[in-house]
Amino acid sequence: MAEIEALPFPFAFKPEAMALVVIDMQRDFAEPGGFGASLGNDVSRITAIVPTVKRLLEGFRAAGLPVIHTMECHKADFSDLPPAKRNRGNPSIRIGDIGPMGRVLIVGEPGTAILDELAPLPGEIVIEKPGKGAFYATSFGDDLKRLGAQQLVFAGVTTEVCVQTTMREANDRGYECLLAEDATESYFPEFKTAALAMIRAQGAIVGWTATTDQVLEGISNA
């Protein structure tokens, strides 16, 4: 077993069972004019982590370890979009409305796309998910089984919503999860801080956290 220095204690892993999961690094959440900005959020917090996420991606690719990307998006006919989700809050643009980057969070629209700097390579798995968690109404669980992945490193946005939801879902299914602290972000810094504390509390009740440097050092030494 190899190890990654982490909190609350080192994360032991087998390289052949490891995969990276990059959550929802999409234009609609990271760019001005997108859905995140329409909710009044400072999207510069999201774009700030792009170089770190890219470095993590490149490290996994260089090590020959699998990478999975997720995208939060819906069908054009709203058949997978509950009214309770579309009508939540008071955004200036709702999911499915036409915005500066096309219809918001609809499959195939420009704003729904993953940021160019973090674009999936041919052969990398891309999960189109209608919910906050990556397991709901997707092939994610089957893909992980096919890869033989049992230990997951997470990056992406937002820490307390889609990232933490997917980590909790994975934890309930028996996966060991580690979150790269500096490769995830929230629009609200206090929410990120709280989510990290919740994840690693009580002896890693949901999972571990570590820096990108610690993750990359661990996989390079494995």
Task: List the catalytic residues.
Answer: 24, 129, 162
Distances (CA, A) of 218 to 52, 168, 175: 16, 23, 19
Token pair for 168? 């909790």
Q: How many angstroms separate the CA atoms of 35 and 23, rounded? A: 16
Please check whether residue 38 is in contact with residue 99, taking contact to mean a CB–CB distance below 8 angstroms: yes
What is the enclosing helix (H) or strand (E) of 153?
strand 151-157
